[in-house]
Amino acid sequence: MEYTIIEGNYAKIGVSKTVDTVYFTFESEKEQKCAILLYPADAGQSNQNTGLIRIPVPDEYCIGALRSVGIKGLKWKKFHYNYEVDGTLVFDRHARKVVGREVWADTDRLSSGCQVRAGFDFAEFDWCKDRFPEIPREQMVMYKLNVRSFTMDGGATRKKRGTFAGVMDKLPYLKELGVTSLEFMPVYEFEELIVKETVKPDVKEWSDNAKAGLEVEENSKEASDKKTACQINCWGYGPGDYYAPKASYCSAGEPSLELKALIREIHRNHMECILEFYFDEDMNQNIAVEILRYWVMEYHVDGFHLLGAALSVNAMAQDLILRRTKLFAEHFDRRLFAGQTAYPHLFVYNEDFLYAARKMLARADGSMPELLNQLKRQHEVFGFVNYIAGNNGFTLADLFSYEQKHNEENGEDNRDGNDWNFSSNGGMEGPSRKKGILEYRKKQMRNAVVLVMLGQSVPLIMAGDEFGNSQNGNNNCYCQDHKTGWVNWNVCKRSPSFAAFVRYMIAFRRRHPVICSPHPMQMCDYEQYGCPDLSYHGENAWIMAPNLYQQAVGILYCGAYAKGADGSADDDIYVAMNYHIIQQYLALPKLSGKRRWYLAVDTSNAKEPYLETPRIVEKKRQILLEPQSIVVLIGK
């Protein structure tokens, strides 16, 4: 191969190209001896040094801690590459493509000692005038999924299971459900194989024969059982190759093109793509910002859920390219962004709502004031995310089927996973055939969905929770790459009624903008409509102040404080909640004029928990609530 070496392009880290030159820019000190290693793409990993070309990088091609070289005449389609720094093989963490992990959990790759290589990806993609949807936060309904587990157990054709293409096949289902924003657990390249550490026994006091016997046993086991020496990291939280989409999530062709096609289709359905990124404490914060910029510009990503230690979320929030990209993090510096309201794009994403809701539902020292504050939490600049179940913890179905975690399958003696779940099982741990227990569990699931959908902030559903997917009580399924950790679509087919309830509640939220107002509630009638924007009611109307020991409350949203799509005022919405184990009376506030109350939702009614056509309620001063139930009324 004929080629010419020139000084590179320091402005762009990673690999880039012009018409006849490929530029390699990577981190290295000037004092280090560096080279580019080119592997023939057709040689295969088992012969990774066959035909290897080593191109030294001149010492003077250095600015700061960046080395950069251009290779004119490089036939890049015929090669893969790595770097060599002071004689050590170094993988390019800025590579747009990773070669060697195309097969999910391929233990042969580790046992054979194959080294992953960086690949060239300059494939062009037609975005077809794609635009960012920029869905207002008051219209958002989030849905979190893992690409692999989402479609492995049905939900896609066999060739597409566990891939971006498989997720694309489910977009019509998600659209019909009412989802607006898809949150993906890591889709960038990561090592899914975790090598198990073997703890060797102390043989100091052993006899020579015993030592010899142990050595023979270990050698025999190592030779015959190499493939079982790994655990699978299904979720991808940990160091990653952040510029490359995960190759094993691709059904065919280039991973980058399949992921871009998925995001383009998400946008065509007027939905958003939000990606989780986990950065550990060793991550260079400047590079972290650059990574997010890259995914916005190259993949048209709409937002990021930022996880990990030492995140510079403030720098990310201030970045001009990311100014209209939604950023989700556990907290932000509120003083820093007090004036940024042109396009609110920051979201506080933590477990505050989860614990407030779970404790009340499970009757585990819950606080009614805490729950009510979480239901109305809102900020002019910051949004919030509300959820009761996520990947870290029980599924929604397991939350009301198990009081203890059951993570023995993870191989850590049930020590992993959260011990504080605030769950309730209805009187029996795990699966049950008793009608009373099953009805209790279904009612509690309906209660949970109502709380999430009627909270003022952005609701989030974990994949499969909308139809009762179970993980058999495992609340930390990070390593369960089988039916325990996969979404079971057969459950959806067997019991579609709960999914219909979730669909109804999402649509109800969308029809009534007063529930999800982007403005904080003032708890007073500041526009003089004759009713506060938000008020609380006990056995008597208008005179209740929630206290720590209260178990029932009525919440009245004044519809005049919100306008629908046609500009008309919304209906009044009354949410009556009873967490007692006995029936409870609550006030039914009187409506002005000829307006009446109509029943829309009653979670205690197993046969008819929601009404497509709300039914008129008798004129009474109070409403009777069944134990541990929620009723939703519409005033019109």
Residue 530 sits at φ, ψ, to 5 deg, of: 95, 5
Comparison of pLDDT for 465 and 221, the residue scoring more:
465
- What pLDDT is attached to residue 120? 97
- What pLDDT is attached to residue 200? 60
pLDDT one-digit tens code per residue, 481-502: 999 999 999 999 888 999 999 9
User: Which of 195-199, 214-218, 302-306, 532-536 has the lowest average pLDDT?
Assistant: 195-199
pLDDT one-digit tens code per residue, 433-483: 999 999 999 999 999 999 999 999 999 999 999 999 999 999 999 999 999
pLDDT one-digit tens code per residue, 364-392: 989 999 999 999 999 988 899 999 999 99
The one-letter amino acid at 602:
D
| pTM of the entire predicted model | 0.94
- What pLDDT is attached to residue 315? 86
Residue 301 sits at φ, ψ, to 5 deg, of: -70, 140
Q: DSSP H helical segments within 84-233, as ranges?
A: 107-111, 147-151, 164-169, 171-177, 208-224
Whole-angstrom Cα distance, residue 218 to residue 263?
Answer: 49
- What pLDDT is attached to residue 226? 47
Q: Is 163 in contact with 258 (CB distance < 8 Å)?
A: yes
On the question of pLDDT at 341 being above 80, the answer is no
On the question of pLDDT at 209 being above 70, the answer is no
Q: Is 362 in contact with 423 (CB distance < 8 Å)?
A: yes
Rg, C-alpha atoms of the chain: 28
